[in-house]
Chain A
């Protein structure tokens, strides 16, 4: 793919510092995301998982540190170059963030029309394929976001995030608020889409099952930095109180055992 060497990580965060007033969220945080991997980012509430995501996609200007995405530092680019990089991101926000004044197919067709310049008819046709791809019925295409359930909103938002066939997909708690069946289906969906489309995934989550089912590596945010980023087995053996409680607590063990059997 243009612009990225296969060996180069798609995201490289170095020495990131984020402060809100006196409150330091990140202190000297380092993180890399390799091409084609699904990286799960976990951490207790308030450890700045979403802030990290927002920093990487450029919505939050860090106080210090560099963030390179797809080989370039977004903050050094002018608006046009930045937009070119940004359209290679797909972002699924926590609440979906579907445009409420547009119906589903218009939501997904918008970037196709604006960035690629497709005619509306083609864009909406592709939008309906995307809807079907994420498991919605193309008949839902004319529904408005407010008439959808939480699970449908997540799926539609994923379809919009996939609209431009991104190189990196950012997911902010994609399975939060879904029922277990829907959440498992979502994990499976992300994984099959990744295998088929080959993008990298930066996945912020609380969901232990998602970590087991979908993630290649897991990064633990704790003490204002990335405590450890490795495969799940190695992370679970880290000698840290929070990590031990998280992965080897009753829920962690339940999630782990259900995936060992498979």
Chain B
């Protein structure tokens, strides 16, 4: 019912009724049907209700200038409604249209790829730069034991190492059992189920023990580091440290890296033992390889260097996980949303780097015959 909102009498158009947000869509459509030039005079005798949305439509109808002078020509209108209309008119006395140019889809796709590649390059450069910064900060501290932050380091060892022991043990135990089952299934057709022991031992000593521990810590600790440092960054605590003349790398990053360097090799060792245990249990229960035979074979046919090859990777993983976690924390800017984004990024990056380095290391060790 368009008459609800305006009444035409000859050459005058009287606006009335409820010009409110609830009726915005219908009212707008009704007004679109009007030709303002055909109406010489618009009369405002008072609206039943009018709010900002209705006033905006009214201003569109009258034009900003005329609406802004409503005080002068619509004295019948209640004062509050005049005030509202004039207020809205002055608010609309600016360009309200936005020029959004939609770029070519192909161009924007290429630009997107380019931005991604550039982002990746920049990320790696930042990572290398940060590693350099950490090493440069660490060297003078290493030779000066009085500047070691033992308390902070121990606290982080507890958080990222000790508290992770149960989950690392459980996870590696289960994977050990799975590897043993797999090995048994495949090797059975060759009548070589006894080599299951070698399979479990090789895979856990060389790869799985350290890899699983590293991936777990990448998810558990890298994210924690990023969240901790990111929260500090967005709270300006890092800036406060700098303003106090303290070095955030020394205070915050080095203890975390050191803690990881302690924790991860230990966890990797625990992971190896627990994985072997998982394999041994499956062997004993379902392959009829008794426990002492498992130990025997382990001692006779698996040499120490497999263990060393596996463990040698642990400090490298630890360093890279801790560095990525801390760097992403420092990259946080502003809001809490940024903390979340960087935490995700730090987990993804550190798991990616761990697996990449592990693959390269496997190739290298293989070629070296270690």
Contacts and interface: CB of A to CB of B under 8 A. Distances in A.
A162 B24 contact: no
Interface stretch (B88-96, B222-230, B270-278, B292-300): B88-96
Given A138-B95, A146-B335, A165-B53, A133 B25 contact: no
Contacts of B336: 100
Interface string B44-70: 000001011100100000000000000
Interface in A129-182: 129-130, 132-133, 137-139, 141-142, 145-146, 162, 164-165
Chain B binding surface, main DSSP class: helix
A1 B80 CA distance: 15
A231 B308 CA distance: 81
A138 B53 contact: no
B149 interface: no
Nearest to B338: A146
Nearest to A193: B87
A100 B337 contact: yes
Nearest to B20: A165
A165 B50 CA distance: 10
A9 to B, nearest CB: 20
Contact of B96 (A117, A118, A125, A198): A125
A118 B24 contact: yes
A60 interface: no
Interface residues of A, number: 32
Contacts, number: 74
Interface string B8-38: 0000000000001110110010000000000
B98 A192 contact: no
Range class of the B interface residue count: 20 to 34
Nearest to B83: A196
Given A133-B91, A192-B87, A128 B96 contact: yes
B84 interface: yes
Contacts of B51: 165, 197
Of A125, A193, A196, most buried by chain B (CB within 10 Å of CB) is A196
A139 B98 contact: yes
A118 B338 CA distance: 31
12 contacts: A118-B24, A118-B25, A122-B25, A128-B96, A128-B98, A132-B96, A133-B91, A139-B95, A139-B98, A146-B338, A193-B87, A196-B87
Interface of B: 20-22, 24-25, 28, 49, 51-53, 56, 80, 83-84, 87-88, 91-92, 94-96, 98, 100, 334-338
Interface of A: 1, 100-101, 112, 116-119, 122, 125-126, 128-130, 132-133, 137-139, 141-142, 145-146, 162, 164-165, 192-193, 195-198
